[in-house]
Amino acid sequence: MAPETKVFDAIVIGSGQSGTPLATALVKSGRKTALVEKSHIGGCCINEGCTPTKTLIASGRAAYMARRGPGYGIPSHVDGAADMIKVRQRKRDIVSNWREGGEKRLKNAGVTVFMGDAKFVGEKEITVESDVGQEEVLKANLIFINVGERPAAPPLDGLEGVIATLPEKVLDSTSIQELGEVPESLIVLGGGYVGLEFAQLFQRLGSKVHVIQRAKQLLPREDPDLAESMKDILMEDGLKVHCSTEAKHITVDPLAQQPITLTTHSKLDDSTSTVTGTHILLATGRRPNTDTLNLAASGVQTDSTGYIPTNEYLETSVPGIYALGDCKGPPAFTHVSYDDFRVIRDNLDLLPYPSASSFGKPIKPHSINTRKSAIPYVCYTDPQLGHVGLHLHDIPTSERKNIQVAKMPMSYVARALETDESRGMMKAVVNGETGDILGFSCIGIEGGEIMAVVQTAMMGGLKWWDLREAIWAHPSLAESLNNIWGYLEDA
Ligand SMILES: Cc1cc2nc3c(=O)[nH]c(=O)nc-3n(C[C@H](O)[C@H](O)[C@H](O)COP(=O)(O)OP(=O)(O)OC[C@H]3O[C@@H](n4cnc5c(N)ncnc54)[C@H](O)[C@@H]3O)c2cc1C
Ligand SMILES: NC(=O)c1ccc[n+]([C@@H]2O[C@H](COP(=O)([O-])OP(=O)(O)OC[C@H]3O[C@@H](n4cnc5c(N)ncnc54)[C@H](O)[C@@H]3O)[C@@H](O)[C@H]2O)c1
């Protein structure tokens, strides 16, 4: 017998960084709301993204500082690799605390949670299949898709054979976090956020790490000088970094000490080389989880890569169906997904959640959108890379007439020298005529926090000279914002 259709006012598909708070807000606004999640409440960020990785990275930093103890006059004895079971347990404990908190909040709010895989069967109708094959049919006039992304394996000759022979040696950003011991040697394919955060972490925990990056620089979104600074830091930490290098072929010999051999081609000198490892991490990007949603049944359109295009109000091609977070396309950050929640909350006027923009008054639909002037982000290598606003390379050379740039090494920052954390650099891009700060990057100790100081200044419309003249506490990292402007020059 077909299951009875359950009718809701709203359905949220995916418990991501926007879907979870949105489900609660929908209930608080009086709407009967269902949330469907196929894996874990809290989505990627809590379960296999930000929270666990930054927890693991804290262990990596502890190992790094312990090794540096003698440099500060503190004897320390760090022999061999980290105790991965304890490192992993610390991560698991923090993740389960966060996840359980999320589960409780949804329950207390009165959200009806369905654990299972959602698929469209009609324009506003879905089925939910649980792990044990039980099926529910749900219907609502309002549907919010927040299904996120998953790791995408690159096309690589031989990869299927390696996975078939030694599946536990081929890792992605999720499986690498569950290792019970530190790999002796790790090949990291991809020099983006995922690749670099894990590469440095595992080098610090005791692996020998190679990073293979197809692009000519690490972190291709950054200006080349910042990417070069990051590369120098990682190489100083002992990582082997190969840019302009493409993976061509992979083989496995289960009996070898280093079972994995990757053949690469360097575009720099047109040469072929091999690199061996006990494990390989595939960190070459992510793909949206829209392929299993049967979107055709709803009429919601996707682009050629599976992302759901929306307008600035997160409306899809079908009225009443919205897409939020990573599944609508880059940039893929938790804070962007959370901001998507705010856009929906305010446009649908989900009181009692008075937003700052409305000061508690009803808002006209479409008064808030996703067009944000400066989205910040932080790559949690150590030191971090924090960035907000424009990069210099975002401004075409022909449009740089009034553009000025200031660069300052972290070795000029008193606080960084006192703590012996002086690796990296700051870079600011300004309009030389108006004094507006257009962009700021910092590779440095707490680079994300220094960036946030400049971000706040940009939000408040301060000019660069306001920061130069500000009284910052001494000796703080922010104090460097008095000095960087002395290095301004035409771009
Ligand atoms: C290793 C790693 C580290 C990261 N670190 C950071 C960081 O430090 N800072 C940062 O800002 N961002 C970071 N990110 C990115 C960040 O995790 C995401 O941008 C963020 O989670 C937002 O995702 P979302 O809201 O779109 O959905 P997600 O958090 O991806 O959640 C989507 C949910 O939908 C569920 N789902 C999918 N399909 C279905 C279906 N058919 N039915 C039911 N449920 C479904 C999934 O199981 C998942 O729980 C990191 C990502 C990774 C992989
Ligand atoms: N700290 C953070 O905020 C954080 C951390 C992790 C992930 N994330 C999010 O997750 C997203 C995905 O991260 P990611 O690092 O997986 O993807 P990414 O797209 O940022 O980086 C992938 C890198 O792999 C390289 N590459 C692709 N194919 C290759 C191949 N065949 N051989 C060698 N190199 C190859 C690309 O040049 C690129 O630099 C990011 O865009 C980011 O939005 C954020």
pLDDT digits (tens, 9 = 90+) for 132-145: 889 999 999 999 99
Same domain, 301 and 331: yes
Q: What is the pLDDT of residues 432-471, one digit of tens each?
A: 999 999 999 999 999 999 999 999 999 999 999 999 999 9
The Å distance, Cα 261 to ligand 1 centre, comes to 31
**Which CATH number do you get for residue 463?**
3.30.390.30
Asked if residue 294 and residue 262 are part of one domain, the reply reads no
What are phi and psi for residue 41, nearest 5 degrees?
-65, 140
Domain end marker among 249, 284, 319: 284
How many angstroms does the Cα of residue 377 sit away from the middle of ligand 2? 14
Joined tokens for residue 314? 């997160």
pLDDT digits over 216-247, tens only?
999 999 999 999 999 999 999 999 999 999 99
Residue 361 pLDDT: 55
Residues with a CB atom less than 6 Å from ligand 1: 13-18, 36-40, 43-45, 49-50, 53, 117-118, 146-148, 173, 194, 289, 292-293, 325-327, 332-335, 337, 380
Q: Are 139 and 22 within one domain?
A: yes
Is 131 annotated in a binding site? The answer is no
What is the C-alpha end-to-end distance of the chain, expressed in Å? 70
Position 151, amino acid: P
Interval 106-122: pLDDT, tens: 999 999 999 999 999 99
In this structure, the answer to whether residues 35 and 107 fall within a common structural domain is: yes
Mean pLDDT, rounded, for 34-55: 98
Question: Are 146 and 13 contained in the same domain?
Answer: yes
Q: Do both 386 and 320 map to the same domain? A: no
Predicted confidence at residue 192, as pLDDT, reads 98
Q: Are residues 351 and 296 in the same domain?
A: yes
pLDDT at position 4 over 60:
yes
| Run of H or E including 12 | strand 5-13
Domains in the chain: how many in total? 3
The pTM of this model reads 0.96
Contacts of 18 (CB under 8 A, 6+ apart): 144, 146, 324, 325, 337, 338, 340, 341, 344
For residue 194, say whether it is annotated as part of any ligand binding site: yes
ipTM score of complex: 0.98
List the CATH number of the domain containing 90: 3.50.50.60
> How far does the centroid of ligand 2 lie from the alpha carbon of residue 380, in Å?
13
Angle, CA of 329, 346 and 112, to the nearest 5°: 80
Residue 463 shares a structural domain with residue 392: yes
Q: Where among 307, 329, 359 does a domain terminate?
A: 359
355 and 401 within one domain? no
Examine the pLDDT at 356 and tell me if it is beyond 50: no
- Is residue 366 domain-resident? no
Question: Mean pLDDT over all residues of the chain?
Answer: 95
Q: Which of 150, 188, 193 to mutate to test the pocket of ligand 2 (most atoms within 8 A of CB)?
A: 193
Name the residue range of residue 483's domain.
377-490
| Residue 184: Cβ within 10 Å count | 14
Whether 69 is in a domain gets the answer no
> What's the pLDDT score for residue 274?
98
CA 253-259-261 angle, to 5 degrees, is: 90
Domain match, 320 and 273 both = no
Q: Is the pLDDT of residue 351 over 80?
A: no
pLDDT at 288: 98
**Tokens representing 169?**
């040696």
* Residue 315: C-alpha distances to residues 324, 328, 369 (Å): 9, 10, 11
